[in-house]
Structures are given as C-alpha cells and as structure tokens.
Amino acid sequence: MNNKNMKYVKKGNSLAKVIRTELIFTPLLIVFPLVVGFFLIFDWYFRGVAVGETGYTEEMLLGIIIIIGNIAFDIPFIKSLKAFSKKR
C-alpha cells in the first residue's frame, strides 16, 4: 500500500469518513422506505378499497410495517447523528 491509501486506514480519519458517509445516505435511508410504505398503502386503497377486492390487505399491512419500522429505527439514528455532530 502506498501513502495515499494508508491515510484511509488511519484510525482518526476513518471515523470522520464513516460519519460523512452516514450523513450522505441519511436522506435515502429515511425517505425511500417511507415512499415505498406509502406507495403500498395507496396501492391498497386504490386497488383494494376503491374496486372492492379484498386481496390487497397484505399490501396495507406490509406498508404499515415498513412505515412503523422505519420511524422506530430512524428517530434514534437521527438523534445519535445530531448528538455526535454537536459533540464534534
């Protein structure tokens, strides 16, 4: 390994890069599951409730599980990122 590659292996420098990567991917980690969950709920409503078919209840349940799970894990994740950024 040359010196250019060794700077990524250093202990102090890698933590900042990991946090920066988490900050970059945070909108994707938060928004994408919410969009998918709401899409499944709207699809359940328009294809199941509006038409009157009962075969789409699984989409509603899956959408609710995705939204609740995303919110349950995202709130502590965002709080920890805020606390870490205030700490630095």
**Taking the domains of the chain in order of start, what are their residue ranges?**
26-87
pTM: 0.69
CA distances from 6 to 10, 13, 39, 48 (A): 7, 10, 45, 57
pLDDT digits (tens, 9 = 90+) for 6-32: 555 555 566 667 777 777 888 888 899
CB 44 within 8 A of CB 57: yes
pLDDT digits (tens, 9 = 90+) for 37-86: 999 999 989 888 888 887 788 889 999 999 999 999 888 888 887 887 77
Token duo for residue 35: 């969009």
CB 66 within 8 A of CB 36: yes
**DSSP state letter for 54:** S
